[in-house]
Amino acid sequence: MVELSYSKIKIAHQVRDFEEKRAADRKRNLLYLIHNFLRAEGFYDSAMSLNTEAQLNNKYVICDNIDLETILQEYESFFLLKFQKYPNICKKNVSNSELIEIKRTLKKEIKKDCHCQKNNQKPVKFKNFKNTRDNHDLSGFDLTVLPLSTSKTENLLQSNSLEEKTKPLHKPLSGYGICGEWKEFAEVISKEICNNDLNTHWSDIKGLETAKQLLKEAVVYPIKYPELFKGILSPWKGLLLYGPPGTGKTLLAKAVATECKTTFFNISASSIVSKWRGDSEKLIRVLFEVARYHAPSTIFLDEIDALASRRDGSFEHEASRRLKAELLIQLDGLANSEDRIFLLATSNIPWDLDPAMLRRLEKRILVDLPTCEARRAMLLHYLPPIISERPSLKSDLDYEYLSEKMDGYSGSDIKLVCKEASMQAMRAALMILETEPAP
């Protein structure tokens, strides 16, 4: 019996050692998998920090047929086969105040359902617990099943999912392969990448159907159907939106940033003009190099006439001529390459642009003043029949008559008129609130 006890203790010790060794191997494998994934995705600084902090060495390497993405795909396949749905790996980080609000709303919905005041739904009660022992002791208990309403509750619960649009994950600059001064320039340009959701969709733009269609042909469709845009049908590399101010040129660019799955560079004159000699040309070159690194990319130059105006000989500064020359060289190389980079520019005075720049902007679209139908749609959007419920603000307008009388108004002008009309109605309410004595 003593030998049996010793043998049992020894086996338990061996099993415990084996489990501890397996746990240590599992942690080590996870660290090396993460390190390999970071290096494969170009996060070299993070991989180096992990290597230093976890004290990894070259004694172990990942096998050829194993990587983190493959393991995740196999787990998703297993989860789909077992539960008929894909697993949720990440969830939205909800603050404490939002959780409290969700719980409060859920309680309100449950109370409403308990009183059967919503949708005339009757609760289903299950009595007579047949398969339960001592049923006479449970005579005062009823099981009530209540259907929850699908209005506010579902909206609050769905807000915790990842179906909403998230920020795109860009490649780190450590994989760009540059150092020193050029890396500093690349970091300056990377700050101009638009990571925020501008929340401007094609449907938000009233009118301008031709401009929207051409932008889709230049940016959206070549990414969705690349096999169709080859040879003579290769997409345009440059597009100029020109027209009167306030007609929606910048709004179209925001829609491109929101709808298109490209890296969007929002470049202004302050981003690429430097007071130091030669830095402006370097910034132009680095801009296109970083755009190639993050391809497919869209470079947006608002008011391009500030950078590429007509060259007028002796009256122009040497630095301005060098900047324009570098910009023209980069655009010329862009047109003769297969790089998936698209230049989108806007201007209110296209006749002031350099002819060489106009030649490189292959497609030029006139964004004109809105038509009568577009003006009516804008009025309905800004001044609907019910503007707001609290405070109550309604409008009773003849949209057809107003849209005809607003001929010659730009989209920005119509927005300002609608805002002033709403403020006039609000001023009367504010006057009453200010003059009426407090109770």
Please tell me the distance from the alpha carbon of residue 418 to that of residue 425, in angstroms, as a whole number: 11
Cα-based torsion angle of the residue sequence 118, 121, 122, 125 in order, rounded to the nearest 10 degrees:
-110
- C-beta separation of 346 from 302 below 8 A: yes
Phi, psi angle pair for 266, to nearest 5°: -95, 95
Please tell me the distance from the alpha carbon of residue 211 to that of residue 346, in angstroms, as a whole number: 12
Question: Has 249 been labeled as part of a binding site?
Answer: yes
For 257-279, the three-class secondary structure string (H helix, E strand, C coil) is: HHHCCCEEEEECHHHHCCCCCCH
Which 8-state DSSP code applies to residue 84? S
Tokens 């005339």 found at: 120
Question: Has 248 been labeled as part of a binding site?
Answer: yes
Please tell me the distance from the alpha carbon of residue 139 to that of residue 302, in angstroms, as a whole number: 76
Which candidate, 189, 171, 190, places its Cα nearest to that of 46?
171
Please tell me the distance from the alpha carbon of residue 291 to that of residue 294, in angstroms, as a whole number: 5
Element spanning 341, H or E: strand 341-347
Q: How many CB atoms lie within 10 A of CB 97?
A: 8
Write the burial class of residue 271 (CB in 10 Å: 0-12 exposed, 13-18 middle, 19+ buried). Answer: middle
List all residues 6 or more positions away from 413 whose beta carbon is below 8 Å from its beta carbon: 246, 406
Question: Has 250 been labeled as part of a binding site?
Answer: yes
Question: Has 144 been labeled as part of a binding site?
Answer: no
- C-beta separation of 45 from 174 below 8 A: yes
State the binding site for ATP.
243-250
State the binding site.
243-250
